[in-house]
Each structure stands twice: as structure tokens, then as C-alpha cells.
Amino acid sequence: MLFSVIIPIYNIKDFLRKCIDSVLSQNFDDYEIVLVDDGSTDGCSAICDEYAQNNSQVRVIHKENGGLVSARNTGIKEAQGEYILYVDGDDWVSQNWMEVISTQIYSAPENPDIVVFGSMGIYADRQSIHIINASEGFYDRHRLETEIFPSLISDRTRYIEDSIILPAPWNKAYKRSLLEEHHCYDEGIRIGEDTAFVFECFLNAQSAVICKEILYNCNRLNPTSILSKDDPERIRKRLRLFQYIQERLSSYGQVIDQQMDCFYASRILYDVISMRKKTSDINRTGSLLKKELRETDIIKYVHINKIPFRARIVMRMLKMGMCRTVLWGLGMVS
């Protein structure tokens, strides 16, 4: 079997059928679907059972709610395919998704460890292609090390948050053997789960293929998604991710170490911007942010003098406790 499609599911009843149907409608048949019901309470469990009963290529696993990392890891343990594909349960894929990926695999000089493909965010008023800042084609280990790894985590020649490849799980096919060894081991991570293993998989890949054809549609219309929720503890959750990444990636040498400051800073700034967008009470949010930064001491992960100038100013202000000023400033430029 070539592909195992792992779909983690939690309370997305309104979108689930479209997701599963998009996979079942592939013009390719060498695959299985592993539905991981992570303790859903909205009727998703019954939908999963219905699909499993009516289609031999679909299996369902019901488990207690353990979060996205736990659901993905459960899927890995059950998968039987040579490659694993992830689909979030509120997203959908193109009909030629597997056909294109299989062609990329079989036409490469050797079966690649990772295949990257194009994806698009679907919003209420627009569509946005996720940019891949690398050339299409086959990358052996040498080419990965020279062309991808120097900008894998952050491309400091572009801007602080840019990486050469979107660190999402769902726009890639992974050899199952690679994921079995380099999946995210900390199932308590609740924010940034994608980066917790995608970078590590790339750093351990011997080869990869990049294909920019748009095959995956990322649903930004779901009001209950993680990205849509306000989370007052996001800084504390981010700290756990930083601790995990530092432990897992600290042995990969200077070329990676040099990118980590920009990565840490970009994630902190992303969280601050998210807090600003979701509040009208700057004073309260500023006090909460100041408390979170002080108690977690998360800024210690950033060598501030090694990040771009504009980000350096903001990080220094946050470190000095000028959180309300930063939030006000973000409101002025938004």
C-alpha cells in the first residue's frame, strides 16, 4: 500500500463529510484512510463509523480526547502505507492529490523521504496560495543541506517569520519510517504542533521532492478552529513548544542554531499580534501579557541582538515590560 491518510477529528461535524469525500473521490486507489476520532462529542463519531462500515479502505479509531499530537501519533501507529499523508478534518483535497504525489515519488531518482506540494488557504472573501520559496524538483541530501537547510526554519534575508517551506504537516507526504522515528513525542504540546516535528523530519530526510501544484485546500472558514480561538495561556503553551524544539534540534549545528532566534522571536510576536487582534481592552490584555512574559521568561530563548532591527525593538520593549505600548502600537499599524 502506498498511502495512509490520517485524519485527526475533533468536533468538526459540519465539515467532516466534505473532507472524507474529497479523499474517497481520488482517481487513485492504493491507499487507506485512518480516521482518528479524538473524543468528539458533536456527532463526528457516528459519521466516522458510517464511513468505515460502507468503505473497506476506511478504518476508524475512537479514543479519549488527547489533543492533536496524540491523535496524529495514534494514526501513525495504525498506518500501514509506505507514505503518510495528513488531512485536517475540516479541510479538503483535490481529486488528483494522490495521483500527482505518486507520480512525483515514482519519477524521482530514488523514492524521496518527503514530498512537498502546493496548498491554498480558503477564506470567506479570498483565496491565498501558501508560498514555497524553493525551486521545484528533486533534492538529494547534498542539495537539501545547501539549498533548504540554511533557510529551513527562518530566512533572515527575507524577514523574521519567513521559512523556505511552510512548516505544516498537511502539505507533505512523509515516508512512514521517517515519521515513526521523528514524530512529535510530547503529546502535551497544544500550540505549534506542526513545527514540533516538521523541521526535524526535514533535517533527517535523505531526499525530498518539491511540487508546487495546488493539491490541498486549508479551510479558514471554521469558527471553532484553533486559529480562531482566543487563548489567554498561549504564551505558556508556546514555552512548552520552545523547550521541546530546543531539546530536539540543538544537535543539528550552527546553520540551524543561527535560525532559531528568528523563529522564537517570530512565534512570540505572532502570539502578541494574535492577542491584539482578539481584544478591545488593551489595558487588561497588556497586564495579562506582561504577567505571562514575566512568569514564563520566554524571551530568554531569543538573542535579541541577532534578529532583524524592527523585531529587535519590539522584543526589547516586551522584555522591559512595555506590553501595553506594544499592543497600542500594533493597533495603530493594523
Domain boundaries of the chain, sorted by first residue: 3-227, 230-333
Confidence of residue 231 (pLDDT cuts 50, 70, 90): confident
Nearest Cα to 36, choosing from 88, 93, 91, 97? 88
Rounded-to-integer distance, Cα 159 and Cα 256, Å = 16
Instruction: Tell me 89's DSSP state.
Output: T
Cα dist from 103 to 6, 97, 107, 131, 225, whole Å: 20, 10, 6, 22, 33
Whose grid coordinates read 479524538? 38
Rounded-to-integer distance, Cα 145 and Cα 255, Å = 9
Render pLDDT for 64-81 as a digit per residue (tens, 0 to 9): 999 999 999 999 999 999
For the chain, give the mean pLDDT. Answer: 93
Confidence of residue 206 (pLDDT cuts 50, 70, 90): very high
85: cell is: 499523508
Query: What pTM was estimated for this model as a whole?
Result: 0.94
Superfamily of domain 3-227 in CATH is Spore Coat Polysaccharide Biosynthesis Protein SpsA; Chain A (3.90.550.10)
